[in-house]
A and B are shown apart, each in its own frame.
Chain A
Amino acid sequence: MLIQSSKIISFFVIISFFLHPLMLNPLFAQEESNEYAQTHSESETDEEFDGEEFDDGFEDEFESGDEEIFDPLSGYNSVMTEFNDGFYIFVLDPVARGYEWVMPDLAQRGVKNFFHNLLFPIRFVNNALQLKPINAGEELFRFVLNSTVGIFGLWDPAKEWFGLEAHEEDFGQTLGYYGIGGGFHIVLPFLGPSNLRDMFSLYPDMQIDPVYYFDNRPYNFPKMEGEYLGMSRQSLQQTNLLMLKTVNQESLRIGQYENLKKDAIELYPFLRDVYEQNRAKLIEE
């Protein structure tokens, strides 16, 4: 009896041993049905230009691009894209290049780290809202370490010493995490591509962005009285900070936008597509 059962067990083990690679290995699975398709995607033959059928599964991996994208603001968006493009090319880029020329690399990275560190509350809150306690904890650790040892966040010891990278999350991603779609696309002045969801998400994030709490105490900036350019002193100082932040950021990626743009056939639909694909990826993470 025992001999019998052990034989049966051995039999199945042997059988499964031989079948196993075939079952688990997708390379072997459906090898035959793919034969035909393969000949169509082979290089250096004329066949690939002959094919009428596309049963090699590639088509399913991409969206057809034929479906109408709901884009009620497309007219405005195209114009605003041109405006932003012009602003970038003629104002921001030259300024950033000048800044890059003047500033040492170390200072540029310091300024970048400083502003990045300040945005800790946004990352922390949104990681927590997306139920990512480990990421939120790491953010907290990063903030404490970088603000103290890293001298107000100018330096990033959390990454250098502990290999802990920031976990970028914003409120738009949080909403996306809970299944809220982007809605139609909106190009914002200066800020660039966005959509309904991400545009409204700017507001809650702003509420916890320390730059917007920047106080107009006299020791923060040289003393200025009253209004200037129609702005209160506080908002002027905020604008200054924002400008420094933006120019510094751009100075670290000079040439990248121009380079990206070269893949565009038409600028607005291209940038819209790039933005939406990138956001989908960020939300998925």
Chain B
Amino acid sequence: MQVHQKNITGRIVVILLILFFTSSNLFADEVSEIRTMTKEKVDIVINILKDKSLSKDEKKEGILETIDGLFDFNLMARLSLGKKHWKSLTKEKRKEFSNLFVERLKLSYLEKLDLYTDEEVIVDEARLTKKKRVEVLTYLVTKDDKKEMIYKLYKTKKKGWMVYDVDVLGVSIVQTYRSQFSGVLKKETMEQLMERMRSSGDLGA
């Protein structure tokens, strides 16, 4: 009787333990979904770049369409300006700044793609960094080197996971713009900064 009892208890414990460990995969699944989604988008972009039948403008259009749903550009604008300066702006100014910034960011991204030749992108692992933040590790591989690029995503309420920053070789796009904007705004007013962004596509650099 005792032995029998032990057996049943043991079985229950084993079964529950199995369930216990598999349940943690609920989340692992979501992370791997994010990885898959990122990989899909990256593959679409690469395929567009490789497609010789498309004109340059068609390529740009297709790529922007692909990344629009992946990147939260407005959040990137807010983060790049930083809390202090963002708060000091009116709603209209915020929108205007966002638009200027996003245009610039897209332009810079597209220009970088002009350098594309035969690189492959390896989408490595996705990892959870903290609540609602996932980093997807990717490598841009050429014949003689391998550049690490990390896409940082967060969970939005309505549109799923979106990118809010990209690290290229450890250099964060948002952080770099943040330092620059705050540097410029120590010497100039917000108006002057936005005037520079309006008048020249490349801010006079």
Report which A residues bind B (CB closer than 8 A): 2-3, 6, 9-10, 13-14, 16-17, 20-21, 24-27, 29-30, 34, 38-39, 41-44, 46, 48-50, 52, 54, 57-59, 61-66, 105, 109, 112-113, 165, 252, 255-256, 259, 261-267, 269-270, 273-274, 277-278, 280-282, 284
Q: Sort chain B's interface into a size bin.
A: 35 or more
A2 CB to closest chain B CB (Å) equals: 6
Residues of B within 8 A of A62 (CB): 79, 82, 172, 174-175, 178
A264 vs B104: C-alpha distance in the bound complex, in angstroms?
11
Report the nearest A residue to B78, measured CB to CB. Answer: A48
Residues of A within 8 A of B179 (CB): 63, 65, 269, 273
Contact B156 A265 (CB under 8 A): no
Contact A17 B202 (CB under 8 A): no
Q: Given contacts A109-B143, A265-B180, A269-B183, is CB(A49)–CB(B98) below 8 Å?
A: yes
A277 vs B174: C-alpha distance in the bound complex, in angstroms?
12
> For window 7-28 of chain B, which residues contact chain A by CB distance below 8 Å?
8-9, 12-13, 16-17, 19-20, 23-24, 26-27
Proximity bits, B74-109, A CB within 8 Å = 1, else 0: 110011001110010001001100100000000010
Stretch among B37-45, B52-60, B124-132 lining the A interface: B124-132
Report the nearest A residue to B143, measured CB to CB. Answer: A109
Contact A10 B27 (CB under 8 A): no
A82 vs B89: C-alpha distance in the bound complex, in angstroms?
33
A14 CB to closest chain B CB (Å) equals: 6
- Which of B95, B132, B175, B202 contacts A27, CB < 8 Å? B132
Residues of B within 8 A of A255 (CB): 114-115
Q: Given contacts A30-B131, A65-B82, A262-B111, is CB(A270)–CB(B176) below 8 Å?
A: yes
Residues of B within 8 A of A39 (CB): 157
Contact A10 B9 (CB under 8 A): yes
A21 vs B82: C-alpha distance in the bound complex, in angstroms?
35
A–B pairs, 30, beta carbons within 8 Å: A9-B9, A16-B20, A24-B27, A27-B30, A34-B131, A34-B132, A39-B157, A41-B154, A41-B156, A42-B158, A43-B72, A43-B75, A49-B74, A49-B98, A52-B87, A62-B79, A65-B183, A66-B182, A261-B205, A262-B108, A262-B202, A263-B173, A264-B180, A270-B180, A277-B172, A277-B175, A277-B176, A278-B171, A280-B170, A281-B169
Residues of B within 8 A of A38 (CB): 156-157
